[in-house]
Amino acid sequence: MPKANETILEIDFKALKHNLEYIQSKLQKKTKTLAVVKAFAYGSDATEIALYLQNLSVDYFAVAYINEGIALRQAGVTKPILVLHPQAINFKELIGNCLEPSLYNAKIFNEFIEASSKENQTNYPVHIKFNTGLNRLGFSENDIDFLMSKLNKTTSIKVASIFSHLAASEDLNETKFTQNQIKSFNIISENFISKLDYKPMLHLCNTSGILNYPEAHFDMVRTGIGLYGFGNSEKENKHFKPIGTLKTVISQIHTINKGESVGYNRAYKSSDITKTATLPIGHADGIGRQYGNGKGFVIIHGQKAPIIGNVCMDMIMVNVTTIACKEGDEVIVFDPKSTAEHLAEQANTISYELITGISQRVKRVYLK
Ligand SMILES: *Cc1c(COP(=O)(O)O)cnc(C)c1O
């Protein structure tokens, strides 16, 4: 691995392949894989990740918004792309780029029929989302008659899949709740399919759903966090390899006397002679202020150096009093050993938030 001379996010494609293979080892042969690459592939690089995955056995991609799908098309991604949360204002671009919308309520369903008719489409693939307990997006079973009445009157769209999303698939204390979601999904999809004269794909599971509810894989599964190396449990994390390593360097070292302060608003005051290192990474790079004042830490020569004082926009200061280090030395913010999940926990959040927050200003380096 190259030594960091600036802040970089290394992305390990071998680890990505390993994670995909581990997830697929849990699937039956016939089950398709959708790779979720929304939010820059969870803060890594959506186009690089999708271009790599489309040469492996990935059948579908998903993004949250239409712009994300357009970027993938422009980069040369040719496999189907599901847009999980499209906005009607961009439907023309969605159709122009062969992106497939998730339709989740009557308003957006009607708006899409109008847009696809206007663009002279026939059988345009759409994905009908049902709410089975997350209470975020989705039709309810009562809407099936409405959906059928509309579908019977148009040739512009065709239902490519019926899907729902689990609320607590990683939480084994909520197994009953999740099993009820699976049951509802079965009832709703059977009811809907019995009224259609063709059979759309069914999909329900995210990463933890795949791992914890093998009975609910249906025709396809949607994996995001697993691809990036997190299994949402100690047991599962052992099988995954985090693909991202966030590294930086020491810009400057200070030795300060007892009673001196460090950083804005003098948030840190030293109780003894203290050696500090200033690093070129701050809240504008994705290390939020919640990691300041001793909560978060970095690793320098294998040792923990806590963040002291407030996180600045472009910098953090860390305590290196007991660490032999010098200006220019490499610093690990997270890697496969000192993981993003562990760092996130220090600030009461989850790996998803920390990794998706690594801003686009941080240079990406690809290990292929
Ligand atoms: C983000 C998302 C996923 C992926 O979830 P992971 O927990 O990252 O695997 C799957 N389905 C939907 C609808 C999503 O929004």
> Same domain, yes or no, for 143 and 207?
yes
**302 lies in the same domain as 161:** no
Same domain (yes/no): 349, 276: yes
Angle between helices 175-195 and 144-151 (to 10 degrees): 30
Mutate to test the pocket of ligand 1, among 222, 223, 240, 355 (most ligand atoms within 8 A of CB): 222
What is the CATH classification number for the domain harbouring 277?
2.40.37.10
Q: Are residues 47 and 170 in the same domain?
A: yes
Any residues with Cβ below 6 Å from ligand 1, and which? 36, 38, 84, 165, 206-207, 222-226
124 and 213 together in one domain: yes
How far is residue 268's CA from residue 272's CA, in Å, rounded to a whole number?
12
The whole-model pTM stands at 0.96
Average pLDDT value over all residues in the chain: 97
- Catalytic choice (14, 118, 195, 264): 264
- Verify whether residue 38 is a known catalytic residue: yes
Name the nearest CA neighbour of 141 among 201, 205, 186, 82.
186
Domain annotation covers residue 164: yes
Please name the amino acid found at residue 199. Answer: K
Residue 130 DSSP class: B
Residue 31 is classified by DSSP as -
Question: Which atom of ligand 1 lies at the shortest distance from residue 232's CA?
Answer: 7
Q: What is the pLDDT of residues 20-36, one digit of tens each?
A: 999 999 999 999 999 99
> CATH number of the domain that 47 lies in?
3.20.20.10
Best mutation site among 204, 206, 207 for ligand 1 pocket (most ligand atoms within 8 Å of CB) = 206
Q: Which residue has the higher pLDDT, 251 or 1?
A: 251
Any domain includes 222: yes
Looking at residue 211, the DSSP 8-state letter turns out to be H
Residue 81: its H or E element: strand 81-83
Active site residue 268: no
Structural domain containing residue 265: 244-367
For residue 145, being part of any structural domain is answered with: yes
Distance 222 CA to ligand 1 centre (A): 6
pLDDT at residue 4, as a whole number: 87
Q: Kindly state the average pLDDT of the residues 208-215.
A: 98
**Residues 44 and 187 reside in one and the same domain:** yes
Per-residue pLDDT of 314-338, as tens digits, reads: 999 999 999 999 999 999 999 999 9
Structurally, the chain folds into a number of domains equal to 2
| 278 in the same domain as 149 | no
Catalytic residue (choose from 38, 129, 241, 247) = 38
Which atom of ligand 1 is nearest the CA belonging to 129? 13
